Amino acid sequence: MRTKLVAGNWKMNTTPEEGQKLASEVVNMVKDELNRNVQVVLAPPFTHLHQVARLIGDAKNISLAAQNVSEHEKGAYTGEISVSMLKNLGVKWVIIGHSERREYFGESGQQLAKKLDAVLAGGLQPIFCCGEPLEVRESGQHEGYVQRQLEESLFHLSDEQMRKVVIAYEPIWAIGTGKTASDEQAQDMHAHIRKQLAGKWGEALAQEIRILYGGSVNPGNARGLFAKPDVDGGLVGGASLKSRDFTDVVKSC
């Protein structure tokens, strides 16, 4: 049985003070209201990581993520942050390859493969994002598009490495738009992704991997999405900036 996981990606939102308030509210709500075996991950901006780590403390089912990381260990890379720096701050997870990183910053599948290698070598766990833009979905090429993303960045990993990866399917046309893939569309793509994993690493390992849905997840649609057999939780954007909404999404698991 795969443990459900809900990650809140705050993106470039909140000041440190606002982030501290939000994190405190979420941590307390989850502690008070959640009685299920659900893993919660918070991904604030880099400037908030130290504060949020302290607020999470020893909470058994809440952990800290970074929104990005460099593939380089150290050196003359102005503005970048390394795996070791994140680990020292108490980070456990790193989001890799979010569609906004791919689109706005030109991150390629090859670069993301290097980032995955760095994260895994450093003892952190990646949340690897994949997903198609609207024109690809409308042309019916979405399954092949996502398959290529998996092949470019994941298919060099060993069985042991792959077991540490969480995949997040995020249809780009549903991010920040208020649109959401239907429960059936999400399930179909998640099943397709799991089929690709099985073809590469075997059915048993594929059944271990958690695949999250990301794309305007909110309290109104989370329960239907999370009920699908291959949807193992969510990567939540806008709703993660409201403690009540985010906690209700978590409880939908």
pLDDT by residue for the chain (253 residues), tens digit each? 899 999 999 999 999 999 999 999 999 999 999 977 899 999 999 999 999 999 999 998 999 999 999 999 999 999 999 999 999 999 999 999 999 999 999 999 999 999 999 999 999 999 999 999 989 998 999 999 999 999 999 999 999 999 999 999 999 988 777 777 899 999 999 999 999 999 999 999 999 999 999 988 999 999 999 999 999 999 999 999 999 999 999 999 9
What type of residue sits at position 76? Answer: A
Write the CB contacts of 159 (distance below 8 Å, at least 6 apart in sequence).
Answer: 201, 202, 205
User: Which residues carry a binding-site annotation?
Assistant: 9-11, 176, 216, 237-238
Cross-strand pairs, 130: 169
For the annotated binding site for substrate, the residues are: 9-11, 176, 216, 237-238
Residue 19 main-chain phi, psi, to 5 deg = -65, -40
Q: How far is CA 125 from CA 91, 100, 140, 180, 237, in A?
A: 9, 20, 32, 27, 19
What domain range is 175 assigned to? Answer: 4-251
Its pTM stands at 0.96
CB burial string 44-66: b at 16+ within 10 A, e below: bbbebbebbbebbeeeebbbbbb
| 188 and 220 Cβ atoms separated by less than 8 Å | no
Cα–Cα dist 208/194, whole Å: 10
Instruction: Note the pLDDT of residue 175.
Output: 77
Q: 72 in helix, strand or coil?
A: coil
- Give the residue numbers marked as catalytic: 98, 170
Inter-axis angle of helices 16-33 and 243-251, to 10 degrees?
30
CB atoms within 10 A of CB 223: 14
CATH number, domain of 200, equals 3.20.20.70
Number of domains in the chain: 1
